[in-house]
Structure 1
Amino acid sequence: MPIPIIDLFAGPGGLGEGFSAFRHQGIAVFKIGLSIEKDPLAHQTLELRAFFRQFPDKQAPSEYYQRLSGLISREALFEKFSDEAENARREAWHAELGSKNFSSETVDKRIRDTIGQSKDWVLIGGPPCQAYSLVGRSRRKNDPTFASDEKHLLYQQYLRILAMHRPPVFVMENVKGMLSATVNEAGIFQKIRGDLSEPLKAVPEANQAVPLGYKLFSLVCNQPDLLGEIPPQNFVVRAEEYGIPQARHRVILLGIRSDWPHIPDILRRAKKQIPIEKAISDLPRLRSGLSKEDDSGENWLAAIRALAGSSALAESAVTPALRWAIKKVLSNMSDKLQRGSEFVTGTPAPKFAKTWLRDPKLKGFCNHVTRGHIREDLHRYLFAAQFARLMNQTPSLEHFPSELLPDHENVDEAITGAMFNDRFRVQRRRRPSTTITSHISKDGHYFIHYDPAQCRSLTVREAARLQTFPDNYFFEGPRTAQYHQVGNAVPPLLAYQIARIVARLFVANS
Structure 2
Amino acid sequence: MNIIDLFSGGGGLTEGFKQQGYNIMCHVEMDKDACDSLRTREAYYYLKGINQLNIYASYLNGNITKEEFYRNIPDNHLSKVLNYQISQNELPNIMEKINELVADSQIDGIIGGPPCQAYSTIGRPRNDRIKEKDERVYLYKYYSQFLEEYAPNFFIFENVKGLLSYKDISKEKLLPKIMEEFQSKGYNVEYKILNSLEYGIPQKRERLFIFGIKNELGIEAQYFFENLLTYKEPSISIKDLFYDLPIMNAGEVINEYSEREPVLFVKNNLRCLEDCLSQNISRPNNKRDKAIYKLVVEAKNSGRIIKYNELPNSLKTHKNEKHFLDRFKCLNENEQSHTLVAHISKDGHYYIHPDFKQNRSITVREAARIQTFPDDYHFENSRTSAFKQIGNAVPVYLSNKIAKTINNIL
TM-score, normalized by length of structure 2?
0.92
1:194 is aligned to 2:154: no
Q: CA deviation at 1:187?
A: 1.5
2:291 is aligned to: 379
1:438 is aligned to: 342
1:217 is aligned to: 190
Distance, in Å, in 2 between the alignment partners of 1:51 and 1:66 is: 13
Distance, in Å, in 2 between the alignment partners of 1:144 and 1:124 is: 30
1:130 is aligned to 2:117: yes
1:108 is aligned to: 95
1:247 is aligned to 2:204: yes
1:148-171: CA deviations, max 9, x gaps? 211111222211111222111000
Q: What does 1:366-445 correspond to in 2, within 5 Å?
A: 366-391=278-303, 393-397=304-308, 400-403=310-313, 406-411=316-321, 413-414=322-323, 420-445=324-349
Q: 2:54 aligns with which of 44, 54, 62?
A: 62
Q: CA deviation at 1:496?
A: 0.5
Contact 2:231 2:401 in 1 (8 A): no
Q: CA deviation at 1:362?
A: 3.7
1:93 is aligned to: 82
Aligned length: 403
Q: Tell me: CA distance 1:125–1:270, structure 2 relative to 1, closer, same or farther (3 Å).
A: same
Q: Choose 182-191 or 70-79, whichever is displaced more.
A: 182-191
1:190-225: CA deviations, max 9, x gaps? 221221221xxxxxxxxxxxxx4211134xxxxxxx
1:381-417: CA deviations, max 9, x gaps? 11101111121x433335x343366332321x13xxx
Contact 1:11 1:489 in 2 (8 A): yes
The residue type paired with residue 37 of structure 2 is: T
1:255-296: CA deviations, max 9, x gaps? 00111112332233534232111212221111114xxxxxxx
Q: What does 1:17-166 correspond to in 2, within 5 Å?
A: 17-22=15-20, 28=21, 30-56=22-48, 59-79=51-71, 81-83=72-74, 86-98=75-87, 100=89, 102=90, 104-119=91-106, 121-138=108-125, 140=126, 144-166=129-151
The residue type paired with residue 360 of structure 2 is: R
Q: Choose 35-44 or 266-275, whichever is displaced more.
A: 266-275
The residue type paired with residue 62 of structure 1 is: N
Contact 1:348 1:363 in 2 (8 A): no
1:305 is aligned to: none
Q: CA deviation at 1:69?
A: 1.0
Contact 1:350 1:357 in 2 (8 A): no
1:201 is aligned to: none
Distance, in Å, in 1 between the alignment partners of 2:314 and 2:17 is: 46
The residue type paired with residue 259 of structure 1 is: E
The residue type paired with residue 386 of structure 1 is: E
Distance, in Å, in 2 between the alignment partners of 1:497 and 1:401 is: 43
Q: CA deviation at 1:345?
A: 6.0
Distance, in Å, in 2 between the alignment partners of 1:501 and 1:459 is: 32
Distance, in Å, in 1 between the alignment partners of 2:311 and 2:11 is: 43
Q: CA deviation at 1:117?
A: 3.7
Distance, in Å, in 2 between the alignment partners of 1:99 and 1:46 is: 24
Distance, in Å, in 2 between the alignment partners of 1:99 and 1:373 is: 43
Contact 1:275 1:430 in 2 (8 A): yes
Question: In structure 2, the residue corresponding to 1:495 is in which secondary structure?
Answer: helix
Distance, in Å, in 2 between the alignment partners of 1:74 and 1:354 is: 28
Q: Tell me: CA distance 1:394–1:349, structure 2 relative to 1, closer, same or farther (3 Å).
A: farther
Q: 1:356 aligns with which of 269, 279, 282?
A: 269
The residue type paired with residue 135 of structure 1 is: I
Distance, in Å, in 1 between the alignment partners of 2:164 and 2:27 is: 26
The residue type paired with residue 192 of structure 1 is: I
1:452 is aligned to 2:362: no
Q: What RMSD, in angstroms, separates the aligned Cα atoms of the two structures?
A: 2.1
Q: 1:272 aligns with which of 221, 224, 234?
A: 234
Q: CA deviation at 1:71?
A: 1.1
The residue type paired with residue 248 of structure 1 is: R
The residue type paired with residue 89 of structure 1 is: L
Distance, in Å, in 1 between the alignment partners of 2:247 and 2:210 is: 39
1:327-360: CA deviations, max 9, x gaps? xxxxxxxxxxxx115x44656854224222111x
Contact 1:379 1:404 in 2 (8 A): no
Distance, in Å, in 2 between the alignment partners of 1:269 and 1:405 is: 46
What percentage of residue pairs aligned between the two structures are identical?
33
Distance, in Å, in 2 between the alignment partners of 1:237 and 1:181 is: 18
Distance, in Å, in 1 between the alignment partners of 2:294 and 2:36 is: 36
Gaps (5+ residues) in structure 2?
none
Question: In structure 2, the residue corresponding to 1:35 is in which secondary structure?
Answer: strand
Contact 2:60 2:276 in 1 (8 A): no
Contact 1:240 1:274 in 2 (8 A): no
Q: Tell me: CA distance 1:243–1:153, structure 2 relative to 1, closer, same or farther (3 Å).
A: same
2:243 is aligned to: 281
Contact 1:4 1:115 in 2 (8 A): no
Question: In structure 2, the residue corresponding to 1:250 is in which secondary structure?
Answer: strand
2:408 is aligned to: 504
Q: CA deviation at 1:99?
A: 6.3
1:486 is aligned to 2:396: no
Distance, in Å, in 2 between the alignment partners of 1:147 and 1:439 is: 25
Q: What does 1:293-312 correspond to in 2, within 5 Å?
A: none
Distance, in Å, in 1 between the alignment partners of 2:258 and 2:28 is: 34
